Amino acid sequence: MEWILLVILPLAGLALGWFIRWLYAKYQLTSAEQKAERVKLDAIKEAEAKKKELLLEAKDQIIRDRNQQERETRERRAELQRYERRVLQKEETVDKKLSQVERTEQSLADKERSLQARHAVLDKQEEQYRVELERISGMTGDEAKTLLMQDMENDAKHDAQTILNKIESETNLVAEKKARDILVTTIQRLASETTGDVTVTSVSLPNDEMKGRIIGREGRNIRTLETLTGVDIIIDDTPEAVVISCFDPVRREIAKQAMERLVVDGRIHPARIEEIVSKVSREISQRIFEEGEKALYDVGIHNISQEAIRALGRLYFRTSYGQNVLTHSKEVAIIAGMLAAELGANRELAKRAALLHDIGKGAESDSDQNHAEIGMDMARKMGEDPKVLNAIGSHHNDIEPNCIESIIVQIADAISAARPGARKETIDNYVTRLENLENIAEGFEGVDKAFAIQAGRELRVVVNNDKVSDEQTKDVAKGIARKIETDLRYPGRIKVTIIRETRIVEYAR
């Protein structure tokens, strides 16, 4: 019995547990379904409310749009009515103007018919008068017209020539007086030294024994010095002196100072020569830059390139007819500034162009161009103003001047070169050189007259047009140039200009 209870009681408990679990699961399922049903109903109600709300908003928007459209329609209708009224007013105005134009056209047509009738009458009377005048004068109308026109032309020419002569005479007097006043005032204002530095090409020695030390064993010392400096050292019988020859004045100055230091030092051998020449070269390069800056400061010019400063500084060691070129350039700049101030031209531009006008003389170049062309190319590379380029290139009339500043530079250059004491050339040598130039040209067949101008830089030759043709003038110019090259010694370049013209002169007695 106990065994049965032990078996039945657990089974009954297990069955009861399963039953209770079944009841709990059924209750839970029913609760979830009810909850889902409530959520569904709430969602349906919310959707219905949202639908009604959206419908109300849509109706309000439709009403607002309809009202806006009605307002716009009323405004457009009102605007169209205004345009319509304006068009009607314009049409009325145009109709009135058309009527007025028609009346005016009718009036003009009537006047034109009346004028045509009067013209016909006047033409008939004019023909009668013309026939009567021809009968009285014995000339046709064309002949009388020609005679009258000739008389009027002659009178007009006479009056015009009289006025031109008067104007020309007054202009020449005023221009000459004004030019003389300006030049005299400028020259008087210029306070410049009348002496120029001259590059010395000889070195004094303490004794003739020093010549042998300069030459060195088998000529080693002198060859080293010539190679490093690029000069020719001439040692001759001149007592206690050595001559240095070189076309480049800067190299000549380096060689001169190096030799002077070697003579003072006494240690003359290739290594010492190389050391001294290197040191002197650096000092000369620094001095070149300092001289260029000093020239700019003296003249009052700024904003110029380093290359231009060095080219200006090299002019310090250059001379022309015994006149220091840098001193001459500064003097030309001062004169040009004074002239520009007197004439109302660009003073700064004139001074800048004048200071740079001979910059080509300081160029480190072996070009066959003259210094004006070289200077113009250098200034172009430095980015100078086109007017400055023209002034540099035209200061010896190699190109045509195109501005007043170029003319001012020409005048200032001539004043600086021609003033008393500027150049060491004596008046006798100067006159002789000009006479030689003129005599060479006048020795050619067909040459009437020759004139040396611009201090001997240009030779103007007038030839006889009956003896020399246009083709022959080229041969005459080349012949004169070759003759000058072979017979004369001169610095720079001489321009030969041939002038051939036909001149007819008649006298009224």
Q: What is the pLDDT of residue 196?
A: 38
pLDDT > 50? residue 442 = yes
DSSP for residue 458: E
Mean pLDDT taken over the chain: 79
Q: What is the pLDDT of residue 177?
A: 63
Residue among 284, 273, 224 nearest 248 (CA) = 284
- Residue range 334-356, pLDDT digits in tens: 888 888 888 888 888 888 888 88
Beta strands in 213-286 (DSSP E): 232-234, 241-245
Q: What's the mean pLDDT in 359-387?
A: 77
The full DSSP string for 192-227 is --S-------EEE-S-THHHHHHH-GGGHHHHHHHH
Q: What is the pLDDT of residue 379?
A: 81
CA dihedral sign, ordered 366, 371, 376, 381: positive
Question: From CA 429, how far away is CA 446, in angstroms rounded?
Answer: 28
Domains of the chain plus CATH, in order, are 202-418 (1.10.3210), 427-500 (3.30.300.30)
pLDDT > 50? residue 280 = yes
| Residue 43 vs residues 33, 39, 51, 52: alpha-carbon distances, Å | 15, 6, 12, 14
Q: What is the pLDDT of residue 174?
A: 67
Higher-pLDDT residue of 76 and 507 is: 76
Question: From CA 255, how far away is CA 285, in angstroms rounded?
Answer: 13
Question: From CA 155, how far away is CA 430, in angstroms rounded?
Answer: 53
Question: From CA 446, how far away is CA 479, in angstroms rounded?
Answer: 13
Q: What is the pLDDT of residue 191?
A: 46
pLDDT > 70? residue 294 = yes
- Burial label, 274 (beta-carbon count in 10 A; 0-12, 13-18, 19+): middle
pTM exceeding 0.75: no
Phi, psi of 419 (to 5 degrees): -65, 150
Q: What's the mean pLDDT in 198-220?
A: 73
pLDDT > 70? residue 178 = no
